[in-house]
Amino acid sequence: MKAKFKWGIIAPGKIAHAFAEGIKTLPDAEVYAIASSSQERADAFAKKFKVAKTYNAYETLVADPSVDAVYISSPHHLHFSHSMLALNAGKPVLCEKPFTVNAVETEKLLKTAKEKNLFIMEALWTRFLPIYGIIRKWLNGGRIGEITLLTSTFGFRPERNKKGRLLNPDLAGGALLDIGIYPLSVSQWVMDEHPESFKIHALMGETGVDELLAGVLIYKNGVVSQFSSNFLSENINDFYIYGTKGHIRIHPNFWGSTQATLNVNGKEKTTSAPFNATGFEYQTAETMRCIRAGLLESPVMPHSETLSMMRLMDSIRAEIGLQYPFE
């Protein structure tokens, strides 16, 4: 039996709980250390998930020699500095999406990880989910023919907290970086290429960040991905891939889906692929596999795709005039 892989977590927020819950299903892994800006929150998290070490500063967690890798789950605007903190302490990193706020930060992080010979990956959990493996086989097998069109929605109505991370420009708020990244990333995953151009429309809210974004990505063979992301209404939140012989529906919520329907020439079949836990366990297992194998990146979420996604989001932000105060 392999020695247990010891995870350290920076920032015990909502998503860190889902991450830790997922680890319970991995027999060769444990959450070993938790760091919070508050000792009380670190203690509460440690109690809930039976974590051995608690730290009230992120710096002390990365200095712990027993930590094998660090999962960063702080708000977007801190991903760069927290990932850099971990890399500079010699730790591999799994960092929440969006990997950073802009492509310049992404380039610096990837360069540092390479120089230090350390693994780093954006925690875009969607593409590690079992149903996505099944969809990949359908696409590679040509089941729906040539792809012609992608359509998707990601919309929900969050609590209107102007200081919270979704609406606050100081925390890199806005629909694009928080949820728009999913339709962009799944489109990139389906097409396996960067769009040639895009058209975009945004509604900016009272705090100055995008609360609705609707757009099309246009690929070189004429395929179009039509998407929207918004904080204004609850949407269906599915993702369709249309082809010349049929279509695939990735059921809601497509970014965390366990079901897909394949329709070929009008004949439909729905397939389920339930999670072992929260769905976060698949990206965690892949990170551990890569680190143990001495890889610096995962072929499932390669650095080049994280960087091209950040560049695309930079271009979209330039188009809608969204620059954060700290940039």
Ligand X SMILES: NC(=O)c1ccc[n+]([C@@H]2O[C@H](COP(=O)([O-])OP(=O)(O)OC[C@H]3O[C@@H](n4cnc5c(N)ncnc54)[C@H](OP(=O)(O)O)[C@@H]3O)[C@@H](O)[C@H]2O)c1
Name the residues annotated as catalytic.
97
Peptide bond into 253 cis (omega under 30): yes
Select from 262, 270, 227, 222 the least CA-distant residue to 246. Answer: 262
Site string for ligand X, 73-112 (x = CB under 6 A): xxxx-x-----------------xx---------------
Q: Minimum CB separation from ligand X for residue 206, in Å? A: 20
Residue 189's closest CA among 271, 250, 118?
A: 250
179 DSSP assignment: I
How many whole angstroms separate alpha carbon 114 and alpha carbon 318? 29
Question: To the nearest whole angstrom, how small is the minimum distance from the Cβ of residue 81 to ligand X?
Answer: 10
The CA–CA distances, whole Å, from 222 to 141, 148, 166, 217 equal 21, 8, 33, 10
Residue in 91, 127, 165, 247 binding ligand X, rule: CB under 6 A: 165
* Closest by CA position to 58, among listed 33, 29, 21, 40: 33
Q: What is d(CA 228, CA 235) in angstroms, rounded to the nearest whole number?
A: 10
Beta carbon nearer to ligand X, 119 or 125:
125
Matching residue, tokens 């209404």: 233
x/- letters, 175..214, toward ligand X (CB under 6 A): ---x------------------------------------
- Nearest residue to ligand X, by Cβ distance, number only: 13
Count of residues that interact with ligand X, criterion CB under 6 A: 21
- Minimum CB–partner distance for residue 143 and ligand X (Å): 28
Please state the closest distance from residue 4 (CB atom) to ligand X, in A: 24
Binding residues vs ligand X (CB under 6 A): 11-15, 36-38, 41, 73-76, 78, 96-97, 123, 125, 165, 171, 178
